């Protein structure tokens, strides 16, 4: 029970910190506005496209990836995260995003990380 509370607290902290960092990242002047940005510094996390993620600075992209790991784990009631695989899994997601920049980020995570049969 204590581990679940600690994990929940860590995920909440990561989500808050990562969402602030990603939301504050302005788009480059040449980039079209994102459909996911619904107001200044407010993003609909289910509508962020891979192209939005790819345009972010390296640190912001890494923070956003951690946010999505926690966000999607919470949505699917996942309680155990294998942290040794985060780097490889993030690379899979980014590879898919580069190949399909119009994918929504949550969709890219689900596709890239679905169990292999």
Look up residue 85 and give its DSSP letter.
G
Counting the structural domains of the chain, the total is: 1
Buried b / exposed e over 99-113, threshold 16 CB at 10 Å, is eeeebbbbebbeebb
DSSP count for the chain of H helices, then E strands: 5, 2
Q: How confident is the model at residue 41 (pLDDT cuts 50, 70, 90)?
A: confident
Q: pLDDT per residue over 54-66, tens digit each?
A: 998 999 999 999 9
pLDDT of residue 22: 43
Question: Distance between CA 101 and CA 77 in Å, rounded?
Answer: 27
Q: What is the mean pLDDT of residues 24-44?
A: 67
Domain carrying residue 108: 2-113
């Amino acid at each position: 029970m204590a581990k679940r509370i600690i994990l929940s607290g860590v995920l909440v902290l990561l989500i808050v910190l990562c969402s602030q960092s990603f939301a504050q990242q302005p788009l480059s002047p040449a980039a079209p506005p994102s459909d996911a940005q619904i107001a200044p510094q407010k993003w609909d996390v289910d509508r962020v496209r891979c192209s939005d993620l790819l345009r972010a600075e390296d640190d912001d992209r890494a923070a956003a990836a951690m946010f999505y790991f926690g966000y999607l784990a919470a949505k699917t009631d996942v309680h155990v995260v294998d942290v040794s695989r985060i780097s490889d899994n993030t690379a899979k997601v980014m590879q898919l995003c580069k190949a399909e920049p119009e994918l929504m980020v949550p969709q890219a995570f689900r596709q890239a990380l679905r169990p292999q049969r």
